[in-house]
Amino acid sequence: MTILVGSAIRLLGGEAGVFIVSNEAFDPQSHAEYTQYGLNEETLPQLFTHIQESMQPNARHPLVIEALEPTLATQIGIDDAQGMQRYSFALYDVIGAVGALHVLRTTGATSCFEKSKTLNETEDMEGELHLYMAQLATSLRFALKSQSLVREQGRLAAIFRYSTEGILTVDNALRIIDFNPAMERLTGWNESEVLGQFYFKVLRPKDRQGNDLGLQDSPILQAFAGQIVLNRDMRLTTRDQQCFDARVSASCVRSARGEPINGILTIRDVTREREQEEQRSTFISVISHELQTPIAIIKGYASTLARADARWETKTLRSRLVAIEEEADRLNKLVGNLLYASRIQANGLQMDVAALDLGPLIQKVVRRLRAKSKEVEITLDIPDNLPAVMADRERIEEVLQNLLDNAIKYSPRERVVHISIHATGEEVVVSVRDTGMGISLRDQEQVFERFHRVGDSMTQSTPGAGLGLYICRAIVEAHGGRIWVESTLREGSTFSFSLPREEKAHLPMVVF
């Protein structure tokens, strides 16, 4: 564009000028485009204002010549401000208006079309000038089209590069020719490693049951055959042999004769959606079981005690009523946890944070637990001068209670629980260690999720809805702390959480 406009201005004997794209040319953004030669960008607004207020060239009057005021010439940076003229040409081609070329030149200057012409050749000169302007208009339209294509290519490249869904394209031999960054993240392959590879070999697709798909089930081949392939569920294999659930769509780019040229595969990772579906189904099954069990026990005992033909001893009556009370408490706790989890999801967890001494609080929880479960051995390791933490007393008591209940619940053989505390420069860490069945590495990553229960037969038979550790994590993280687990299968687990100290430790200054 710059070469075309600059050459035209010099050929027409001008010193400077500007080409302004017509509103009617190309896309709606083009009216804001211009290309200038020999002018200072800061002074262009003054020239544009002058052009807008002056007579405009059009199809009937393609050339307009006006004198340029010396003041304006000086403002736009022309040294010789006297005798300057504005030559404005309307540029048209067979399609329509392209824009207007405004040339600034001194009075008496001649173009290359005028220098070697006599008066008898004036008509030929005008014909050559109009022919040149038509050729210039065509060249400028072509240049504008090229710019538009470059912009469009940039937009498409940005969509391809920054799309959150994986996109790959193949040629008609199913060899990979494009592989966007989202595909790299999904599969673990780099683009340079898979270019030219057979895409089926790279992705190794399977059905939802994990069976390998044959080439006849290839989504792109089916798109080549004219089938609609939209949101098909399958499992794809990553570079490190891991599988993930994906939703795949395929489409085909065809030639003018209808022959397939390229195939496009769009892949969306739905692993998280699958996990949420499983969580919902788990929630329904667990909650229905956990609700039905105490209700059935309460109803059974209550109907037994209500029999008119029975006379119960005081001891029997008391044991039945105690069982009803325990099941009612269990039911109440379950409903409370469900409401608690709902409040956490709705960001409705409110706390009353103040300075808290963890030592007496832990001893209180342990005394209550010892009175309730006398067969459990609980040891404490609480150092003297333990720094206070910033926490909500009731919430932290609930965390401790949950961790201790779990330690006892999942330690069927040797019920020994050890609680230790230690302080660091920024926080205080509380650890609860049991000698239970332990947790696998896979479950350790998910044990703090809602409704997640460790995949063990003993765990599944133990009452619980999988909300206790989720609530613990929400409470601890709301305090600005951390919670984690270290465990070995069949040896036990240690659950630890940290809370920020009220006052940071005074560390010794080190001078280098």
Question: Domains, the chain, ranges and CATH?
Answer: 2-159 (3.30.450), 163-269 (3.30.450.20), 279-345 (1.10.287.130), 354-500 (3.30.565.10)
Q: Which residues, in sequence order, are bridge partners of residue 84?
A: 68, 106
Structure tokens that stand for 381 in this block: 């390791």
Three-state secondary-structure class, residue 321: helix
The candidate with the shortest Cα–Cα distance to 103, out of 129, 142, 124, 139, is 129
Beta-strand pair 377-381/416-423: parallel
Structure tokens that stand for 347 in this block: 């960001």
Place of tokens 């403002």: 75
φ, ψ dihedrals at 486, nearest 5°: -125, 125
Output the pLDDT for position 250: 93
Q: What CA–CA distance (Å, rounded) separates 22 from 90?
A: 10
Q: Please list the pLDDT of the chain residue by residue as tens digits (512 residues).
A: 889 999 998 888 888 889 988 876 555 444 457 888 888 777 788 888 888 888 888 888 888 888 877 777 777 766 665 678 888 888 988 888 888 999 888 877 778 877 555 545 555 567 788 888 889 989 998 988 888 888 888 898 898 899 989 999 999 999 999 999 999 999 999 999 999 999 989 999 998 888 888 888 889 999 999 999 999 999 999 998 888 889 999 999 999 888 999 999 999 998 888 877 776 776 676 667 667 778 888 888 888 888 878 788 888 888 888 888 888 887 887 777 677 766 666 666 677 889 999 999 999 999 988 888 778 888 999 998 889 999 989 889 989 988 998 888 887 667 789 999 999 888 999 999 998 888 888 778 788 887 666 655 444 445 556 678 888 888 898 888 999 999 888 888 999 999 999 876 665 555 55
H-helix segments, 216-357: 219-224, 271-305, 314-345
DSSP-assigned letters across all residues of 276-290: HHHHHHHHHHHHHHH
Neighbouring CB atoms inside 10 A of 335's CB total 13
Helix (H), strand (E), coil (C) string for 103-168: EEEECCCCCCCCCCCCHHHHHHHHHHHHHHHHHHHHHHHHHHHHHHHHHHHHHHHHHHHHCCCEEE
SS3 content of the chain, % helix, strand, coil (to 5): 45, 25, 35
Q: What CA–CA distance (Å, rounded) separates 489 from 157?
A: 49
Q: Which residues, in sequence order, are bridge partners of residue 92?
A: 97
Place of tokens 């065509």: 138
What pTM does this model have? 0.50
The candidate with the shortest Cα–Cα distance to 367, out of 380, 384, 357, is 380
Q: What CA–CA distance (Å, rounded) separates 105 from 78?
A: 10
